[in-house]
Amino acid sequence: MSDVQSQIDNLVKSNDVVLFMKGSADQPMCGFSATVVRILDLVNVPFKDVNVMMDMGIREGIKEYSNWPTIPQLYVKGEFIGGCDIVREMYEAGELNDLLAQKGLI
């Protein structure tokens, strides 16, 4: 495992909820990242934001780590959940709340 992959793995495994995104939770740099931040705020779950724009290794490495081509990417308790569309669909269906409750996060 490369240093970048190890760094990503550590972030995913050491935070209950982590969002790899463009920008930060306070200042998202794209609409998709902003949408996921709003959803996480709505479900009132604390999360670690990782600004992929600050590190090109992480920006490319997270795509390899998850085998998912786009950013943002949400992880809950080490499990890859998905990107903006999946998170939005899960939220609208109540599945995101169910998942977070099952994991003891809300």
pLDDT band at 73 (very low <50, low <70, confident <90, very high): very high
Q: How far is residue 24's CA from residue 66's CA, in Å, rounded to a whole number?
A: 20
Q: Is the pLDDT of residue 7 over 80?
A: yes
101: left (phi over 0), alpha (psi -120 to 50) or beta: alpha
Q: What is the pLDDT of residues 58-70, one digit of tens each?
A: 999 999 999 999 9
Q: Is the pLDDT of residue 12 over 90?
A: yes
Q: Is the pLDDT of residue 55 over 90?
A: yes
pLDDT band at 2 (very low <50, low <70, confident <90, very high): confident
- The two tokens of residue 35 are 């949408």
Q: Which CATH superfamily is domain 3-101 in?
A: Glutaredoxin (3.40.30.10)
The side-by-side arrangement of strands in the sheet containing 73-76 is 48-51, 17-21, 73-76, 79-82
The amino acid at residue 88 is R
Query: pTM higher than 0.75, yes or no?
Result: yes
